[in-house]
Structure 1
């Protein structure tokens, strides 16, 4: 299961530059499509639909939604409702739009995008740096997301690092592998020693995170800190001893210089 996360948390949204007029035939198609997607979310985790409810000759509207594979049906339905609410506020009257929440993805438009691969990087984020060498186990966890012809929702783990990925349901096994591979490559290249990372591409996403202390070896870090303190203390003591010794030699020289007959 994915790390604890609000399924309605906003990730990104995109709106087409073209818009439709209120009350136009195209709006009837959009409204019909979004209504059908909302109804389908109560029993499905993925669906794609085409709406041409308005008069013949108007542009059809294509749309789909995808819920994260570890959600329950009620969580999926609630997430899609939240996504629709975001679309209406962020992309009013847009001819095409997409919104990604933590738990679901929704897209519609008048271009036939369903079934087409899309590995365009749309959103990428890395967490704070752990300051420790966890790249090996992170990469091992991420490797569990790629290859092997897995299904749309995938999970991987290694040590204290966990990872998940998912493709939109319109992708073939190869398209999904290619997309997830591209997302994993983005995370490896960008996130270094980060305790978490996420990459959202046009038709997939991949995430990783660290359990417990986030992969930071606190005890080892404290030992390293203690060793540094010990080294600094030893250096100060040695410096003081050397300074005192030089002072004694200097005072002895001054006394000898002031009383040459005593030699």
Structure 2
């Protein structure tokens, strides 16, 4: 079987994701995209057995670490989970990814699927250890509110810039400025320099394609980058001082009302005592 040397060109892509406004509510098994090669393998062939062996190995490995790769015969495979999540989440995500592959890409000679918390890929195109900054999938959120748009862009750029300059083990990086958050993840078969270059390419894609959007994500061959808004409220010392002053004012008002009530009760008691004489 001929090698699939240009994976992206041979893929049929599927995507159904609506970008959430914040990662806190993420469904870790939410579908992002899948790609299936047009060439397929026949059942009961050496390639079929190799593909099954690779996927089984990766499924088992997900319980022990966020990254793993496997090779059997002509087939290689890789999985990458978000490094900040528990291994149980990784294992569950990979199981869901395998289910998506069996539904969307049955018997595909090469395929990849990205869920919110994990990435799974297999094929015979020798992709392990090789840099790949080709864009596989991107999506932008709704337009950001026009008010304070310059501030939002500044926070977005600062958050994304932190991803490029960060140096984190496992390729997982986070950034944040104001109410804008960002994260990125590289596949574990590339080195730190390749990871930084890939994230920088993803950030460039986001700034180009999602300029003015309140969220965006770009998935490249060996990494992805995301940014999103937490809602537009920036808690600053001035804001906290304002809240404190409001609290003090409310406490004073309540105290005055309580004092007036006590005076009324006291005067009523005195009046009743005078009438009883």
Which TM-score applies when normalising by structure 1? 0.76
Deviations 1:104-140 (A, max 9, x none): 0000001210000110111111111122311111101
Structure 1 segments (4+ residues) deviating >4 Å? none
Deviation string for 1:35-59 (max 9, x for gaps)? Answer: 111111111110111113xxxxxxx
The number of aligned residues is 208
Q: Paired residue for 1:108, among 122, 139, 143?
A: 122
Q: Is 2:135–2:219's contact at 8 Å kept on the other side of the alignment?
A: yes
Deviation at 1:80, TM superposition (A): 0.1
- Aligned with residue 44 of structure 1, among 46, 54, 65: 65
Question: CA shift at 1:155, angstroms?
Answer: 0.3
Once the two structures are superposed, the pairs formed by residues 16-27 of structure 1 within 5 Å of their partners are: 16-27=37-48
Structure 1 residue matching 2:165: 3-state secondary structure? coil
The 2-side partners of 1:34 and 1:190 are apart by 34
Q: Of residues 182, 200, 214 in structure 2, which corresponds to 1:181?
A: 200
- In 2, Cα distance between the equivalents of 1:175 and 1:2? 26
Q: Structure 1 residues 207 and 148 mapped into 2: Cα distance closer, same or farther (>3 Å)?
A: closer
Residue in structure 1 matched with residue 273 of structure 2 by the alignment: none
Answer yes or no: is the 8 Å Cα contact 2:166–2:173 preserved in 1.
no
Partner of 1:138: 156
The aligned residue for residue 220 of structure 1 is none
- Going from structure 1 to structure 2, the CA distance change for 1:115 and 1:43 (only over 3 Å counts) comes to same
Residues 71-80 or 3-12, more deviating: 3-12
**Out of 83, 86, 93, which is 2:100 matched to?**
86
CA displacement, residues 155-194 of structure 1 (integer Å, 9 cap, x when unaligned): 0000011100010001111110110000001111121221
Question: Per the alignment, in what secondary structure is the counterpart of residue 98 of structure 2?
Answer: helix
**Structure 1 unaligned spans of 5+:** 53-59, 216-263
Cα distance, 1:214 vs. partner?
Answer: 7.5
Match of 1:70 in 2: 84
Moved more, 73-82 or 14-23: 14-23
Q: Secondary structure, in 3 states, of the residue corresponding to 1:19?
A: coil
SS class of match (1:146): helix
Question: Residue 29 of structure 1 is aligned with which of 35, 50, 58?
Answer: 50
Asked whether the 8 Å contact 1:2–1:70 carries over to 2, the reply is: no
Asked whether the equivalents of residues 13 and 100 of structure 1 are also in contact (C-alpha less than 8 Å), the reply is yes
| Native 8 Å contact 2:41 2:107 kept in 1 | yes
Within 2, Cα distance between the matches of 1:168 and 1:139? 23
Gaps of 5+ in 2: 1-21, 235-277
The correspondence of residues 143-154 of structure 1 with structure 2, limited to 5 A, is: 143-147=161-165, 149-151=167-169, 152-154=171-173
SS of 1:145 mapped into structure 2: helix
Which is greater in Rg?
1
TM-superposed deviation, 1:200: 0.6
Scaled by the length of structure 2, what TM-score is found? 0.72
